[in-house]
Amino acid sequence: MSVADLGTAQCDLAASTLHGSLLDPALESMNFLNEIASRYPAAISFASGRPTEAYFDVALIHQYLDVFCRYLRDDLGYSQAELNRTLFQYGRTKGIINELIARYLLTDEGITADPDSIIVTVGYQEAMFAVARALRADERDVLLSVWPAYVGMTGAARLADLPVWPVRSGPEGVDLDDLCGQVARARKAGRRARACYVMPDFANPSGVSMTVTTRRALLATAAREGLLLIEDNPYGTFHSGDHLPTLKALDTSRQVIYLGSFAKTGFPGARIGYAVADQRVSDGAGGVSPLADYLSRIKSMVTVNTPPVAQAVVGGKLLGCEFSLAKANERETAAYLSNMRQLLAGLASRFPAPADGQRQVTWNTPTGGFFAVVTLPFPADDELMELSAREYGVLWTPMSHFYAGEGGSHQARLACSQLTPELIDSGLDRFAALVTDRLAGCA
Ligand SMILES: Cc1ncc(COP(=O)(O)O)c(C=O)c1O
């Protein structure tokens, strides 16, 4: 045996000796979907919730950067050395565009946020991880979440050893009785429900939105139960004129930790997200600071600070659109809404109601966002998705991925954000062929 072989043998590791999250399906989910997508590159994808690439233009990145530099120089009075330092050096952990994000939140969402309560993160993902890490003090802590849930959230909670307990969504977007039941169950078991994760606007994956009445009732329930709410809102901008107030805009008692991302309203390549965490945390010695400061301590040991160059680009975009990403995204929103209408009409024409009105294939009808959910009369599992990719050239996401394997077995999530009208039509033809063949027992 050579010395090299000896070294390899000694370094072998069993996955079971690594952190438990590494074998968790939540962390495998993205890999599985990406792997299938890469094996069948010609397949039309209803799986990806990526933003449209129609308006990507490298020149815009230069333009945003210029606008931000001008702002530092002309509005904030930075010298050239200060400007250089801001972009080239390590930066403030909490971020450098907090003020600009606060102005955007006020302009588009009616949220009044103190810039000091904002932490700019590497995507939503880092914000969610920091919140989960902070709320998980010991093994008694659990996070509640409306189910089905975004895998980015369940994965981040898993990394932080914070168990996630499901709360039914129902047609309202949250079943408040079930929420109270889970809080009571936690109490009875000596556990602490620290917060509930919700997505009131065009949720990923369900596409469901909450009415204003439900939003207010949720806030009141959470206040009664002493529960924080974690609001995730990447899709709220893409509405059809029925923009509803976010929970954070309705929040008068610092009950809501608001998580934002510029992945869809800006572009994902910037990897810029943020948290508004204005909860007052007392240190036991008379000091009080916003939760954002504590999240910042976690961030300082994960990514040190969010790349200033990426923040500058997003900051330039915010400055350039006078802080209204709703306005800046008018073309994108129109495309997403048109795609959604086409998707829903395409499903209706390919799966018409039979004479008795009892459809075998049903779907929900979101009025915005990126996602709709189709319910099938047979299992829509990973195996069928593979077959769909291989034999029919169409990709979609089995909803079971968003239920940690305990639900959604007959459902598929269809995303239409990144497709052209032609591809939506062809993709639906292929999807309908798969469904028809499976119903006939020949797929
Ligand atoms: C529910 C949800 N939250 C947040 C995000 C954005 O995450 P990030 O900013 O890490 O790209 C996404 C993107 O897919 C999402 O679907």
Residue from 41, 63, 403, 102 nearest 278 by CA: 102
What is the reported pLDDT for 342? 98
Backbone phi and psi for residue 230, each to the nearest 5 degrees, phi listed first: -105, 110
**Tokens at 209, concatenated:** 């939105």
Asked if 123 contacts 272 with a C-beta cutoff of 8 angstroms, the reply is: yes
Q: Tell me which residue has its CA closest to atom 16 in ligand 1.
A: 204
Residue 13 Cα to ligand 1 midpoint, Å, equals 32
Amino acid at 182: Q
Residues 6+ apart with CB under 8 A from 21: 27, 155, 158, 159, 161
Q: Which two tokens stand for residue 337?
A: 């809404």
Ligand 1 mean position, distance from CA 50 (Å): 9
Q: Which atom of ligand 1 is nearest to the CA of 126?
A: 10
Question: Which helix (H) or strand (E) covers residue 412, if one does?
Answer: strand 411-415
pLDDT at 406: 79
Cα–Cα distance measured from residue 393 to residue 347, given in angstroms and rounded to the nearest whole number: 17
Q: How many angstroms separate the CA atoms of 261 and 239, rounded?
A: 17
d(CA 362, CA 370): 18
Please state the atom number of ligand 1 nearest to the C-alpha of residue 125: 10
User: Of 232, 313, 220, 240, which is closest to residue 272 (Cα–Cα)?
Assistant: 313
Is 49 touching ligand 1 by the criterion CB < 6 Å?
A: yes
Q: What is the 128 CA–ligand 1 centroid distance (Å)?
A: 10
Helix, strand, or coil (residue 395):
strand
> How far is the centre of ligand 1, averaged over its atoms, from the C-alpha of 7 (Å)?
41
Tokens matching residue 113: 């946020």
How many angstroms separate the CA atoms of 435 and 443, rounded? Answer: 8
The tokens for 196 are 């509930």
| Residue 304 Cα to chain centre, angstroms | 23
Quickly count: other Cβ atoms within 10 Å of residue 300's Cβ. 12
Task: Choose one of 101, 120, 124 to mutate for the ligand 1 pocket test, by most ligand atoms within 8 angstroms of C-beta.
Answer: 124
Atom of ligand 1 nearest to the CA of 272: 9
Q: pLDDT value at position 346?
A: 98
CB of 202 sitting under 6 A from ligand 1: no
- Decide whether any atom of ligand 1 lies within 6 Å of the 232 Cβ: yes
**Pair 345, 363: CB distance under 8 Å:** no
**Residue 428 — left, alpha, or beta (φ > 0 → left; ψ -120 to 50 → alpha)?**
alpha
Give the per-residue pLDDT at 338: 98
C-beta of 272 in contact with ligand 1 (< 6 A): no
Give me ligand 1 centre to Cα 5, in Å. 43
Which of 261, 272, 306, 336 has the most ligand 1 atoms within 8 A of CB, as the residue to mutate? 261
14 Cα to the center of ligand 1, angstroms? 32
pLDDT of residue 9: 59
Report pLDDT for 29. Answer: 82
273 lines ligand 1 (CB under 6 A): yes
Q: Is 121 in the pocket of ligand 1 (CB under 6 A)?
A: no
Q: What is the mean pLDDT of each run of 10 residues along the chain (443 residues)?
A: 54 91 84 88 94 97 98 98 98 98 98 98 98 98 97 96 96 97 98 98 97 98 97 98 95 97 98 98 96 98 98 98 98 98 98 89 97 97 96 96 88 96 98 96 83
Q: Is 380 left (phi over 0), alpha (psi -120 to 50) or beta?
A: beta
**236 C-alpha to ligand 1 centroid (Å):** 12
8 Å CB contact between 167 and 179 = yes
Ligand 1 centroid–CA 151 distance in Å is: 9
| Residue of 146, 147, 121 lying closest to 134 (CA atoms) | 121
Q: Is 204 in the pocket of ligand 1 (CB under 6 A)?
A: yes
Distance CA 178, CA 170 (A): 10
Instruction: Check pocket membership of 234 for ligand 1, CB cut-off 6 A.
Output: yes
Q: Which atom of ligand 1 is nearest to the CA of 203?
A: 1
Entry pTM = 0.96
Give the 3-state secondary structure of residue 373: strand
